[in-house]
Amino acid sequence: MISLSRGAIGFALVIVAGISYVKHVNGSRRAAESAAVLAASVARGEPLLRVPHAPGPITLDGDTDDLGWRLLPGPARTYAFRFDDGRRALPYSEARLVWSGDYLYLALYASDQDIQSHTDQPDQPIPPNDDSFRVVFSQGDAEYAIEVTPKALITDGIRKGEGAWDLRWNSGAHASREIDGLMNDTRSKDEEWAIELAIPLVSIGMRGERGENIGMSIRRCDIPFGVPRVCAGWGEGPGDHGRGRIVLE
């Protein structure tokens, strides 16, 4: 059995106290910096979503009938996506968000009369003839993009500054789908598709603490019957006065 002298015990306690103090100071500094970024974003009139902590469990199965989505206060909502000129977009799209534990959860909804999804490989550039959602987070000089198709296939990438996107980055996100219609069949009249997405907070530089915030934009692209591809979103264009931001509550 190892016994320690009073002096050794006292020294160890001093070390522990010092580490705790450093963590407290660093935590306070991070909180102050995060609050300053949020205040500047609000002052610029940028769109803001206050994302509540999920009031119950969430099962990743493509729908939003879990208690984590249904119980009050309810998720944060973008409501209708808009075109770059500010007009409400058709077909209708929206996103809902909550967070819990180590994850940020997004429910992505797309009304769609002709669901198109041809790629079968994750981590590949989404072809221009595929429907998709693209979520981009920004923190400092880093951007994190997570793109998902109606098949719940994910392509994710990171870039620093104005550099190229690096698709080797893996967010660790998980996606589940729900579809009302027949994919890639122009003879059928489809209704909608939805994606439930769970993103590890640590992968986008967050710690899962109330008050944390990060820049975010979402874009949905669709291939309607007989017309060119159309895209609309939240938090990214002139209609929204700049990049959006979310804050964990």
pTM for the full predicted model: 0.85
CA distance 65 to 178: 12
- Digit-by-digit pLDDT tens for the chain (249 residues) are 445 566 655 555 555 455 545 444 555 666 676 677 677 766 777 899 999 999 999 999 999 999 999 999 999 999 999 998 889 999 999 999 999 999 999 999 999 999 999 999 899 999 988 999 999 999 999 999 999 999 999 999 999 998 999 999 999 999 999 999 999 998 888 999 999 999 999 999 999 999 999 999 999 999 887 788 899 999 986 545 468 999 999
Is there a cis peptide before residue 91, judged by omega within 30 degrees of 0? yes
Taken in order 87, 92, 98, 102, is the CA torsion positive or negative?
negative
Residue 172 falls in which region: left (phi positive, over 0), alpha (psi -120 to 50) or beta: left
CA distance 168 to 141: 18
| CA 157 to chain centroid | 13
